[in-house]
Structure 1
Amino acid sequence: MELDWLVIGVFVVVYLGMALGRWPGLAIDRTGVAIIGAIVLVVSGAVHGQAAFRFIDFPTIAVLFTLMVIAAQFAASGFFEWIGTGIAHGRVSQKVLLFHVVLTGGVLAALLTNDVVVWAMTPVLVQGLLRRGLNPRPYVIALACAANAGSAATVIGNPQNLLIGEYGGLGFWPFLLACGIPAAISLMVVYGVILKAPFGIGSAAAQTPAEDDAGRSAILKREPLAKALAATVALVIVFSVAEDRATWALAIAGALLLSRRLATRQMLSMVDWHLLLLFAGLFVVTGALGARPALIPGVVLAPLSGGPYGTEALAAVALAGSNTIGNVPLVVFLLSVTGDWTDMALYSLALFSTLSGNFLIVGSVANIIAVERARALGVTIGFVDYAKIGVPVTVLSLLAAYAWIRLVYPPFAAMIGT
């Protein structure tokens, strides 16, 4: 009984840290909070060492690691800089420029994860826009929102989708079929809302910088790029036909690390080890609670994975949870402590938890990355500035996703036999 109370206490304290971003008075971020929580459970005996390893979903971590290695390969090829400078320096109107940012951010995030795309493209985009004399704020917010919206389309678009896909064994193409349309609608919503934002988006073309501007050209290394593209295609194939995804994904990562030009240290330095450790810690903390079903208020959680009000409840929980504890901790928690999920419920969870991330700056790691990377270059995006765009984008996107899930997708899926 004492250990049961310890499990509950650790869970509450850890998820409070997820909501606050740290423990007050300590220089510990979310990753540190999750790891320390897991350590307390193991040291106290509430979770035995072998059980802790069983709680960790190593296939999910393996695939996420592979995605990071592929993204590192793209970064090493100069791909993100090439795309970013191409957008920022194009001789087009501001409306067309905004369209390019939204479309590019959304499509790339669907294949390379939202956090990676935002981290790589934000500085290049901001620098190019400043050279053109344009206000970068709406474009940075557009990139973050579009990356979140676009990532909702695929099972490899973001960490929570990957976790959901591994939990339910969801294939790449069925996932895209279920989530691609609402993700595309969300991208259109992002574009439309930002056009009306009070940030000065206009139709007049701005002068591009001089040809000798240091940021004008970006070197694209073709051989590393070819390997990155091949690895991306291979991963899509793995998620389309393979049963043991983790093993094949690690094989792809290993093939990329076999390089004559890119040092292993360089590639691995671009892997987000903090995120992987965050996953591991949360798996242990939520696994300990899930192993004690008597401690879980099942009457409250059961409707989330099914039932007549499951979609509405899930949308509400996703919006609240994604903007407090974060969408990744929320998904880890829900999948660990609730019962069997139908494929439809999993698709709904993926859509709602991802699209809810656009609500506030704190709703998604991609938002935080975009704002911090822009601030480092002297462009400040305030909490209210972001909310003026993020709130309407999220509300309209969630309404579209809800209508799709409840009204359109079920007969559509039945018609095509999925």
Structure 2
Amino acid sequence: MDLTLTIFVLVYVAMGVGHLPFFRLDRTGAAMVGAMLLIALGQIAPQDAWAAIDYRTIGLLFGLMVISAAFGVAGFYDFAARKVGALDVGPKTLLAVIIGFSGIFSALLTNDVVAVAMTPIFCQICLARRLNPLPFLLGFCFAANVGSSATLIGSPQNMIAAEALNLSFNGFLRVAALPSLIGLPVVWLVLVAVYRGRWTLATPQKTATATALPASEDLDRVEALKAGLVTLAVLVAFVATDRPHMLVALLGASFLLVSRSVESEKLIRRVDGDLLLLLIGLFIVNAAVAATGLPQQLLSALGDIGLDLNQPLSMLVVMSVLSNIVGNNPAVMLVEPFIRNAAHPEALGAAIALGTGFSSNAVIFGSLAGIIVAEQGGRRGIVVGFAEFARAGVPVALATLLLAAGWIVWLG
């Protein structure tokens, strides 16, 4: 038991810090090494390790990643970002458009994929238009986290929670979409207040990339249309049928991978294999720890102080805190074994989605979208520091979490 807990603690230290201290081992590496050690040292049987991996979540996420990748290969993300950035509108209106665009696309496609594809373009557009890029990048990031909370397919943690709670696409949408939609104008209002009078660049940029956009990718309209039709078909199947989500997503991905004009390797290259391996490793690590009985003791201790994970409002609080310590996906995976057969699955699913999605805007490392925006901005001379992020992110997170708490109470 002591060895299992030691490995577990080290893995989740890496989840929170971003790497294992004193080693060049990132989150994915830590999860995989932890899982392999637990198997190799006999702390979990190989067959139990395989059984612990939720293939439904992994399959669903892989299928949706391929579908999202098809839009990238077709040049759609580049095309759409440039169209938004070229609108002849004022800064506040442009911010509203970017927030709405980010929120909607993050709800329909995996939010991390959208962030990776569009952040570089928005950086260049802001610099070319002599706009202060910070409110626009933060708005894009915050909206991605808030908007992705609306649907079962918006983020990996939503998929994990939905599979554990056996939620339908419609059921998830019914309890999570409205607060996510209302949260988008909240993001806009906070950013308008925080960046009042700071919409333009104070000093000329010295780099060539600050005044000129890089060459755009050509939009392959046929492939973009194909990806759009497959996405529409997948969404219709989610809404209108009771077919397993994983099978629907994999079927859609299969249609896109078999093509006469686009090599399958181009699509697969854009799949986030690191995230899939991270989840696989954490499934095994968490299963090994669950077998020790310690999580059940901790759950009982939480109940003694009034935090019952089967109560949606308590879950909202736990997820809001935990996701900013270890990350969204690890946080949900920690509580996943204890929410099966819940009395109020839809309300509990909403609490998990809104708690992880809304709270992750407080700090840069609260979400992968925040990390992506900070790293991509830094490569282009745009400093998105911890304090600057939190200056807007903390009020956004608090305001939207208050909205979520009111919604959860209303759901009863």
- TM value normalised by structure 1: 0.90
Aligned residue in 2 for 1:194? 191
Which of these residues, 134, 153, 166, is aligned with residue 156 of structure 1?
A: 153
Mark the CA change 1:78 to 1:54 in structure 2 (over 3 Å): closer, same or farther. same
Mark the CA change 1:200 to 1:12 in structure 2 (over 3 Å): closer, same or farther. same
Which of these residues, 75, 78, 100, is aligned with residue 75 of structure 2?
A: 78
1:18-62 residue CA offsets vs partner (Å, 9 max, x unmatched):
111111111110001100110111001111111111000011000
Alignment of 1:231-250 (within 5 A): 231-240=230-239, 241-250=241-250
Aligned residue in 1 for 2:408? 405
Alignment of 1:16-415 (within 5 A): 16-198=13-195, 200-201=197-198, 215=214, 219-240=218-239, 241-293=241-293, 296-297=296-297, 298-301=299-302, 303-306=307-310, 310-337=311-338, 340-341=341-342, 342-343=344-345, 344-407=347-410, 409-410=411-412
In 1, Cα distance between the equivalents of 2:175 and 2:398? 20
State the 1:185 CA deviation: 1.6
Q: Are 1:323 and 1:360, in contact at CA under 8 Å, matched by a contact in 2? A: yes
Mark the CA change 1:29 to 1:224 in structure 2 (over 3 Å): closer, same or farther. same
Q: Are 1:61 and 1:276, in contact at CA under 8 Å, matched by a contact in 2? A: yes
Amino acid at match of 1:325: V
State the 1:286 CA deviation: 0.5
State the 1:188 CA deviation: 1.0
State the 1:244 CA deviation: 2.6
Mark the CA change 1:215 to 1:22 in structure 2 (over 3 Å): closer, same or farther. closer
In 1, Cα distance between the equivalents of 2:2 and 2:179? 42
In 1, Cα distance between the equivalents of 2:371 and 2:391? 16
State the 1:234 CA deviation: 2.4
State the 1:261 CA deviation: 1.6
Aligned length: 395
Q: Are 2:231 and 2:252, in contact at CA under 8 Å, matched by a contact in 1? A: no
Q: Are 2:238 and 2:248, in contact at CA under 8 Å, matched by a contact in 1? A: no
1:281-305 residue CA offsets vs partner (Å, 9 max, x unmatched):
0000111122343653231355443
Mark the CA change 1:300 to 1:243 in structure 2 (over 3 Å): closer, same or farther. farther
Q: Are 1:231 and 1:252, in contact at CA under 8 Å, matched by a contact in 2? A: yes
Q: Are 1:75 and 1:120, in contact at CA under 8 Å, matched by a contact in 2? A: yes
Aligned residue in 1 for 2:203? none
Aligned residue in 2 for 1:414? none
Q: Are 2:63 and 2:250, in contact at CA under 8 Å, matched by a contact in 1? A: yes
State the 1:218 CA deviation: 5.5
Q: CA RMSD in A?
A: 1.9
What SS is found at the alignment partner of 1:323? helix
Q: Are 1:42 and 1:49, in contact at CA under 8 Å, matched by a contact in 2? A: yes
Q: Are 2:313 and 2:409, in contact at CA under 8 Å, matched by a contact in 1? A: no
Q: Are 2:142 and 2:393, in contact at CA under 8 Å, matched by a contact in 1? A: yes
Which of these residues, 12, 15, 18, is aligned with residue 9 of structure 2?
A: 12
Mark the CA change 1:238 to 1:10 in structure 2 (over 3 Å): closer, same or farther. farther
In 2, Cα distance between the equivalents of 1:15 and 1:368? 18
What SS is found at the alignment partner of 2:360? helix
Seq. identity, %: 35
Structure 2 unaligned blocks of 5 or more: 201-210
Amino acid at match of 2:73: A
What SS is found at the alignment partner of 1:219? coil
1:248-280 residue CA offsets vs partner (Å, 9 max, x unmatched):
321221111001121121111100000000000
In 2, Cα distance between the equivalents of 1:213 and 1:295? 54
State the 1:214 CA deviation: 5.2
State the 1:337 CA deviation: 4.5
Mark the CA change 1:101 to 1:51 in structure 2 (over 3 Å): closer, same or farther. same
State the 1:338 CA deviation: 5.2
Range moving further from structure 2, 116-125 or 247-256: 247-256
